[in-house]
Structure 1
Amino acid sequence: MKSYRPSLSSQCAALLTLCLLPASQLLAQELELPSQEVVAKPNVEENGYQAKRASTASKSSVALKDEAQSVQVVTPQTIEDFQVRSLDDAMKFVSGVIQSNTLGGTKDAFIKRGFGTNSDGSVLRDGIRSNLSKNFTATSERVEVLKGPAALLYGAMDPGGLINVISKLPQYQQRTTVSGSAFSEGGGSLSLDTTGPIGDSGFAYRLITERQNEDYWRNYGSHEQVLIAPSLTWAGERTSLTLSYEYNDYSAPFDRGTVFIDGHPADIDYEKRLDERWAETRGIAESARAVLEYQLSDDWKSRFTYGWNNDIYGLSIAQPVSMNAATGAFRRVGNGAHYDDETRYSGLDFIGQQMIFGQRHDLLLGIEHELNDQYRGKTYRNPNGMRHDIDTHNPVYGNLPEPSVVSPTQSNRRNELTSTSVYFKDNWHLDDSWILVLGGRYQHYDQYIAQGLGASRTTLFDKNDQTLIPFTGLVYKASDALSLYGNYSRSFVPNTSVTDAGQTFDPEEGRSYEVGAKYDLRPGLSLNLALFDIVKENVVVGSGDDMEAAGKVGSRGVEVDLAGRIADDWELIATYAYTHTELLDDPSNKGNRLAQAPRHTGSLYLTHELPVDDQLGTWRVGGGTRYIGERTGDNADSFRLDSYTLADAFVRWEYPLLGHKTSLQLNLDNIFDKHYYPSTTGSQLNVSVGEPRTARLSASVEF
């Protein structure tokens, strides 16, 4: 199968449209009022590893202690120290979030409080649902993780939570940073990040570019990427406007990992792949966003948001079929497909404060329209006669034909969900100590699913419906340092899952209870404790023709997150989660745990700034460990993935070399070279393998 790649010229149209948009049309109503907050500044307060505010839970900057939900933030300092380069890296610092089926390493996929897949819509970019395969890039400033119910503000969403990647914005202070890295496995990256004002026009720009070419750690393959991301901001007395665009041309190995035999890893060289050199993904991912804010009064502002993201890519897969444990023969067949996944979003919010009978109401009113379109074009399924066995102990490559035979029944699958919603949220300050949170969302949706070529074309699903999603919460601020909270919500997710045979499923419905505490143990050090209980019905598990609705499932547990400064020059991140999952109503697997959801996870990271003479520069060292408990490989509990513990470390040196801030940093991951298996597709023939010990040397100069 030939890789599909659209032309570069056709992809630049969105950027040109945004950048050439006449600003005068948007600024005509500018008035003389006291200056407002500049949109280019981050809507958070951060001190090292501690964050005090976030925007995901209320679509505006709110103190974390005022929210009746658990929100964790992976701060810019954390990202810099540990050289976070993916959402998998970022989730090391958040309790209760682990890797799920990544589709051969090509997708962001996470289990949150026991629930999650690679297509559940729980990853957002700047508050907009993303259809992109990978969502953390050089443009990412921080990551906010909203635990528990999120359907109130984000619609069709699991009650386990969401991950919101927040982008870097233009700044009004001139700064240019050139960075590069070298990877221990071979290759590296080079990037540029420049921002600043455009004269006295009121505009500020930012341009982020990156070129990456890194060898894959297994015996063949490479990760390649060309990233170009311009953005523009204008901020006036009453009006502000931000335009941004990101273009990412990428390729990566499609690696199904290894095989388990009788519940244990087969005796196969850890670093040798069992597929072919042509097994990879290639594509172009794009996103664009426009945000226009207008200050209606001292207490109210309006915000219009338009967002679009699109991922056009092709997959070629050496699909595992069977394994002969006696002979070591591993049978494979060539499969593949072309994909075109798109999200279009537009929303209008009104955010403000209102005093009613002497009590303050922090209000959010909004209306939004969203299209989520997942399209699989030509789908290749090579027949049995084109299968090939490979010896797992002495693999010989090149004998399996690339996917080339088009399947008429499985091609051209369109899975389209269109929804229009209205919602409101009221943080009602009853007095100085109590906040009552009330909210609701009415969502009308149309769902259309069809697949097949020509006479094989079949409409599998075509319906419209509506739902009402309530939310209620309560916050008690016992002191400046301590707040207690609780919430109740329901969730609703139209199922977009379709088996290869064309079977569809009814919507998922669920409810969630949560109570917790947020406590500042000392200035700069925050503790978050959450206890939750979730029940969902009609949950789809598995993949391909093995999908099934598991009936009624439950998840309950406790999460602890501790982050911030524990002493002068010492910072800490510590997490722990206990998650008990269970299939509550299933004819075959009742009583079993949900697949890939460990009961115990935890992490501990410490960072120290060394007390050395200023003439020697600034030295910062850190490291830590994370633990993932044993997991069931599938809902039938037919095999399990062992627990594992990994250790990471870094050292960074900063010095004003020739008057420019210069840094040199070494990061070591998986220091003890542990072999581990982070996730699976639900089959013993598809178990992913974790990276061995790797090193990354990074350098940057700021002008």
Structure 2
Amino acid sequence: MRIFIHIPKERISMNQAHRGTAARTLGARLAWLCLLAAAHTAAQAQATAPAASDRPAPNATAKTAATQAAPSSSAAPELPTVEVFAAPQGDWLDFQDINASGLKQAAPLLETPQAVSTVNSALMQAQGSHSLLESLRYTPGFLAQYGDGDVRADWVMIRGHIPYKYLDGMRLPYGLGYGDSRIDAWLLERVEVLKGPSSVLYGANAPTGLLAMYSKLPDSRQRRQIALDAGSHGLRQARLDVGGQWGDGRWLWRLAGLGSRDGSQMDHVRERRWALAPSLTLRPDGPGGRTRFTLHAMLRHADAPGGGAGPAWLPPEGTVWPNPHGRIPLGRFLGEPDYDHFSGRTRHLGYVLHTRLSERWALRHRLRHARTDNHMRSVNQDFGGIHADLRHVGRSVGQTREDTRALTSDTQLSGRFNWGPVRHQLLLGLDTRRERSDFERLSGGRAAPLDLFQPIYGQPWQAPTRRYATQPTASQTGLYLQDQLRLGQWVATLGLRHDRLRLGQSGAPSSRYRATTGRLGLNWLMGHGWAPYLAYAQGFEPVAGQDRHGRLFQPSRSQQWELGLRYQPEGRNLTLSASLFALRQHKALTRDPDPAESPICGRACQVQQGRRSTRGLELEARAQLGKQVNLNASYAYTHARITHSHIPGEAGSAVPDVPRHQAALWLDWRIAQGPLAGLTLYGGARHTGQRAWHGRPGQHIPAHTLLDAGLDYDLGQAHAALAGYHFALSVKNLANRTHVASCYGPTVCYWSQGRSAQASLRYQW
């Protein structure tokens, strides 16, 4: 992996009751033990000189001298282009001290006044991640909204909210939710989870943060990698990642892609998909020039017979609760094999232009046109719950299609200068987004009830005839200004943004909004790698959708205070972070008390009369323990409450689907000597505490703990003729733990994935 960033030279250094209580205690102990182990290792590293290791220390190539005093104000700031290289083997600890999303430019993590979690491509590969959802399994505060078995999209939640997704700094199409884009993990170089309100740089966003993905783009490193995968449910997949440079280095290119055929845990569901991401970079002034222009595209097509509804909508009787007929099978399919279907197409085309105007100023411009076209047909539970015989459920038939197009751009002017003893890093930007969807829903169809334990498919069903169509539009223009002021060991971040937003739909006048948001942050670079920070941030979100009467929802508002601490000692692969936050949100959506079905929102209608308060603590540790062991540990405590609601008894209750406790641990052990030299073993544990049940006040979804494992073997260590070949094996949910991923409403629950395995053979040359 190779990243081009701008850093001043002086800042570069070369070196449920009892069961619920038990589960919460287990998760907390797991996280604290891991963090204490990492801290103990760090203390030993400070007491003694770092031992020589046969493993490269990638952070040593880009470690910032945050503990050094600020340079003299007379020194002229410079903006050299610095090429940062990863370890040759690929290390998931790479670049944990740099983030690109927190300040909307490459910046040291120690100087970022916001919680940021990072996953790079090496960690995705080690964990056998296929999707964005799987890539974030070990991220604190993350939850799979509908489990991990949906082929349509990655439905994720961060601290109880659905975050918007960004690719290469610009937001992806979303529409009314059915136009969501799915990006395969293989096409990504890195994912950053930016926590808390982020409107000051990105405009309208969820109050708990956003997901920032970064594509595999060209660099001058020669890349040649292919891989073949086989696994559970009939998985067959081929992957490709090649690239390099032409001639004297003015032209760079890269092509990442995959093709896959896969089954599913659910009966009658299959998926075929392919994706290609070509990119081309021109450096007209040569490798050391001032200008860099990158043209990039992505094409993706998915076809999933049986996948129109995603996970089956199962009743709690037989999933969460006992059923006299037994447990509902994990693979139970509630649809009709000859009717259910999902197809999705994604197309992106864009460019990035970066030029250094002088030694102090740089200009960057991004633009992308994106389009997603998703079509789904499904037969699923009708929300009426299980019948009195505790065997049958009623079924409804429907179709949904959303074709979403978005044009986004972002233009930034950045510069560094000194004003007296204060050093400034200024960012001035203007971004725009124009989005339009063609949305159509057919509902009202009925199918014969299905026996959950002895299903009979092919029974008569009635096609949906109730049609609802609209063309929602959204346009946003935002002007933002950010200044980082550094004086000695203090770094202050000041941000201000003004947005103009217009939302509309066919047949109705558009709504116009204006919003001004700000951020204040203060980081103290104490020395020896310690950096506490305090931050205040504001946010707003134009809530998508309509109520049962077709009225557009108003934007919600949020404010957050955050107190954090980071530790990154020089010359060590070690990052410890802690974050305390208090978030308030106004105009939140709550369940509509009217149970009647609506042609606009079905039986899942909402009203906008809620207020929420979320407080929490997040701990994260990434460390190299000794010469051969890496650790990734996290713990999240989230206390989310509804503070105001029109529904009697809801005020003061827990926000649904937000676990109070979460913990995760991931370890890898690389064997460098002996007969097993070249073998790397992986292991992980993920704990999710119990959480409130949406639609059933006072009841909870049980906690669960899952185990993962894997290995990677460099076959070239066994025989020279096999140099460049690697064999990998990853197993998710090793113990095959059956658990409910989520419950939406009082009558719908989703199974999560059981055990699955994947074997891979890849070749690099």
Name the TM-score, length of structure 1 as normaliser. Answer: 0.88
Encode CA deviations 1:321-350: one digit per residue, 9 max, x unaligned: 122042511111110122112221112101
Aligned counterpart for 1:347 among listed residues 389, 404, 410:
410
Q: Return the alpha-carbon distance in structure 2 between the equivalents of residues 35 and 488 of structure 1.
A: 29
One-letter amino acid matched to 1:259: P
416-425 vs 322-331, which deviates more? Answer: 322-331
Aligned counterpart for 2:157 among listed residues 111, 118, 140:
111
One-letter amino acid matched to 2:502: D
Aligned counterpart for 1:130 among listed residues 172, 176, 188:
172
Partner of 1:90: 135
| 1:272 Cα deviation from its structure 2 partner | 1.7
Partner of 1:693: 755
| 1:201 Cα deviation from its structure 2 partner | 5.8
Partner of 2:352: 291
| 1:660 Cα deviation from its structure 2 partner | 4.0
Does residue 568 (structure 1) correspond to residue 627 (structure 2)? The answer is yes
Does residue 255 (structure 1) correspond to residue 310 (structure 2)? The answer is yes
Q: Return the alpha-carbon distance in structure 2 between the equivalents of residues 396 and 133 of structure 1.
A: 34
Name the TM-score, length of structure 2 as normaliser. Answer: 0.81
One-letter amino acid matched to 1:84: S
Could you tell me whether the CA contact under 8 Å between 1:68 and 1:473 is conserved in 2? yes
Could you tell me whether the CA contact under 8 Å between 2:356 and 2:362 is conserved in 1? yes
Partner of 1:648: 708
Q: Return the alpha-carbon distance in structure 2 between the equivalents of residues 480 and 327 of structure 1.
A: 63
Unaligned runs of 5+ in 2: 1-77, 174-179, 592-600
Aligned counterpart for 1:209 among listed residues 234, 245, 257:
257
Q: Return the alpha-carbon distance in structure 2 between the equivalents of residues 434 and 663 of structure 1.
A: 46
Q: Return the alpha-carbon distance in structure 1 between the equivalents of residues 120 and 519 of structure 2.
A: 28
One-letter amino acid matched to 1:555: T
The alpha-carbon distance between structure 1 residues 60 and 401, as it changes in their structure 2 partners (threshold 3 A), is: same
Encode CA deviations 1:658-695: one digit per residue, 9 max, x unaligned: 36411001111111110112223x22443221111111
Q: Return the alpha-carbon distance in structure 2 between the equivalents of residues 265 and 106 of structure 1.
A: 30
| 1:375 Cα deviation from its structure 2 partner | 3.0
One-letter amino acid matched to 1:407: R
Q: Give 3-state SS (helix, strand or coil) of 2:268's partner.
A: coil
| 1:260 Cα deviation from its structure 2 partner | 0.9
The alpha-carbon distance between structure 1 residues 521 and 501, as it changes in their structure 2 partners (threshold 3 A), is: same
Could you tell me whether the CA contact under 8 Å between 1:320 and 1:685 is conserved in 2? no
Q: Return the alpha-carbon distance in structure 1 between the equivalents of residues 84 and 280 of structure 2.
A: 9
Partner of 1:26: none
Could you tell me whether the CA contact under 8 Å between 1:261 and 1:684 is conserved in 2? no
Mapping 1:66-81, distance limit 5 Å:
66-81=111-126
Q: Return the alpha-carbon distance in structure 2 between the equivalents of residues 373 and 562 of structure 1.
A: 42
Partner of 2:21: none
Q: Return the alpha-carbon distance in structure 2 between the equivalents of residues 100 and 341 of structure 1.
A: 22
Encode CA deviations 1:336-371: one digit per residue, 9 max, x unaligned: 122112221112101121111121111110011112
Encode CA deviations 1:246-276: one digit per residue, 9 max, x unaligned: 1001023233322213962653122222222
Does residue 309 (structure 1) correspond to residue 365 (structure 2)? The answer is no
Encode CA deviations 1:525-550: one digit per residue, 9 max, x unaligned: 11110000001011124564421224
Choose between structure 1 and 2 for higher RCO, CA contacts under 8 A separated by at least 6 residues: 2
Partner of 2:726: 663
Does residue 171 (structure 1) correspond to residue 219 (structure 2)? The answer is yes
Partner of 2:595: none
| 1:173 Cα deviation from its structure 2 partner | 2.7
Identity %: 22
Partner of 1:14: none
Encode CA deviations 1:537-570: one digit per residue, 9 max, x unaligned: 1112456442122411110010001112122101
Partner of 1:28: none
Aligned counterpart for 2:444 among listed residues 382, 405, 408:
382
Q: Return the alpha-carbon distance in structure 2 between the equivalents of residues 484 and 355 of structure 1.
A: 24
Q: Return the alpha-carbon distance in structure 2 between the equivalents of residues 634 and 180 of structure 1.
A: 41
Could you tell me whether the CA contact under 8 Å between 2:92 and 2:119 is conserved in 1? no
Could you tell me whether the CA contact under 8 Å between 1:255 and 1:279 is conserved in 2? no
Partner of 1:478: 526
| 1:574 Cα deviation from its structure 2 partner | 0.5
Q: Return the alpha-carbon distance in structure 2 between the equivalents of residues 346 and 40 of structure 1.
A: 27
Encode CA deviations 1:445-471: one digit per residue, 9 max, x unaligned: 111123xxxxxxx42x51212111011
The alpha-carbon distance between structure 1 residues 401 and 205, as it changes in their structure 2 partners (threshold 3 A), is: farther
Q: Return the alpha-carbon distance in structure 1 between the equivalents of residues 460 and 182 of structure 2.
A: 28
Q: Aligned residues, how many?
A: 646
Unaligned runs of 5+ in 1: 1-33, 451-457
Q: Return the alpha-carbon distance in structure 2 between the equivalents of residues 499 and 348 of structure 1.
A: 36
Aligned counterpart for 1:189 among listed residues 233, 237, 240:
237
Aligned counterpart for 1:525 among listed residues 574, 588, 598:
574
Encode CA deviations 1:411-452: one digit per residue, 9 max, x unaligned: 2x2221101110011111022x111110100101111123xx
| 1:36 Cα deviation from its structure 2 partner | 4.8
Partner of 1:603: 664
Encode CA deviations 1:50-102: one digit per residue, 9 max, x unaligned: 51101011221100001111111112221121121112212122111112247
| 1:616 Cα deviation from its structure 2 partner | 5.7
Q: Give 3-state SS (helix, strand or coil) of 2:186's partner.
A: coil
One-letter amino acid matched to 1:519: Y
